[in-house]
Structure 1
Amino acid sequence: MTHYLISFPGSAMQIAEEDFPTVVEESHAAVAAAREAGVLVFAGGLDEASLLVRVAADGSEQLGAYPQTGSLAGGFTVIDVPTREDAVAWAARIAAACRCDQELRVFADGSAT
C-alpha cells in the first residue's frame, strides 16, 4: 500500500455561506467513508489562527514560515491505498464534498509506519 496526501488551500473553498453546513457535512461523510473503508491515515485542517513558528535543532523558535513556503493552510487527508487509481477516486470524492479541486501527492518510499 502507498500513502497519498490529498489537500487543498483554504482559499480554494469558494462557497456561499448558506452552503457551508452542507459542505461540512459532506466532507465529514467523505472522511468517515475513508475511515470505514480502512484507508484513512489522517484527516484535518490547519488552524489558520494559531501561531506559526520554525523550530531549530537546538529548540529555539523563530516566528513565521520559511520565506519560500508562503502560506500553508487548508485541509489535508492522508490515505493508504494500493493504487494511484484508488487515490484519485478518493481525491475526487473529497473534491466533490469540499466543492474544490484537490491536490494529490504520493509520499516517498519509507513513509509507512
Structure 2
Amino acid sequence: MTQYIIYFNQQWVGHHSDDWFANRGPLAAAVVDEMKNAGVYVFAGGLHDIDTAFHADATSGTVKITDGPYAPAEAYLGGLTVVDVPDLEEAKRWAGKLAEACGWPQEVRRVE
C-alpha cells in the first residue's frame, strides 16, 4: 500500500454562506467515515487560519521560532487527508469523493 496526501488550498474554497458550509460538513464527514470503514484512512484535518501559523527556521545554525507563515504566499494550505491505498487510481477515486463532498478542488500527491 502507498500513502497519498489529498489536500486543498484555502483559496480554492471560495466564498459561501454559513448554510452552504453547514450542508457540506456532513458530506465530507461521510467520506472520511467511508475511508475509515474501507481501511484506507490515515489522517484528515482542516487547518486554522494562516494568521495562527508560526514557523521554525534553523538555516542560520540556530533555531528561530517566529509568528506567521515562513513566506508570504498567494495560496496556503486549508486542509488535508492522508490515505493508504494500493495505487494512484484509488487515491484519485478518494480525491474525487472529497472534491464532490466539499465542493472545491483537491490535489493528490504521493507521500514517500
TM-score (normalised: structure 2): 0.83
Q: Secondary structure at the match of 1:101?
A: coil
> Contact 2:6 / 2:82 at 8 angstroms: preserved in 1?
yes
Q: Secondary structure at the match of 1:26?
A: helix
For residues 49 and 67 of structure 1, the distance between their equivalents in structure 2, rounded to whole angstroms, comes to 11
Cα deviation for residue 65 of structure 1 reads 2.3
Q: Give the alignment of 1:94-109 within 5 angstroms.
A: 94-108=98-112
For residues 67 and 46 of structure 1, the distance between their equivalents in structure 2, rounded to whole angstroms, comes to 17
Equivalent residue, structure 2, for 1:79: 83
> Contact 2:50 / 2:68 at 8 angstroms: preserved in 1?
no
Cα deviation for residue 14 of structure 1 reads 2.9
> Contact 1:6 / 1:105 at 8 angstroms: preserved in 2?
yes
> Contact 1:6 / 1:104 at 8 angstroms: preserved in 2?
yes
Q: CA distance change for structure 1 residues 50 and 81 in 2, over 3 Å: closer, same or farther?
A: same
> Contact 1:15 / 1:99 at 8 angstroms: preserved in 2?
no
Q: Percent identity?
A: 34
Between 61-70 and 4-13, the greater mean CA deviation after superposition: 61-70
Equivalent residue, structure 1, for 2:40: 39
- Which of 62, 65, 70 does residue 66 from structure 1 map onto? 70
Segments of 4+ moved more than 6 angstroms = none
TM-score (normalised: structure 1): 0.82
Equivalent residue, structure 1, for 2:96: 92
For residues 20 and 68 of structure 1, the distance between their equivalents in structure 2, rounded to whole angstroms, comes to 27
Cα deviation for residue 56 of structure 1 reads 3.7
The number of residue pairs the alignment matches comes to 108
Cα deviation for residue 47 of structure 1 reads 0.8
The structure whose residues are more often strand, as a share, is: 2
Q: Can you give the 5+ residue segments of structure 1 that lack an aligned partner in the other structure?
A: 109-113
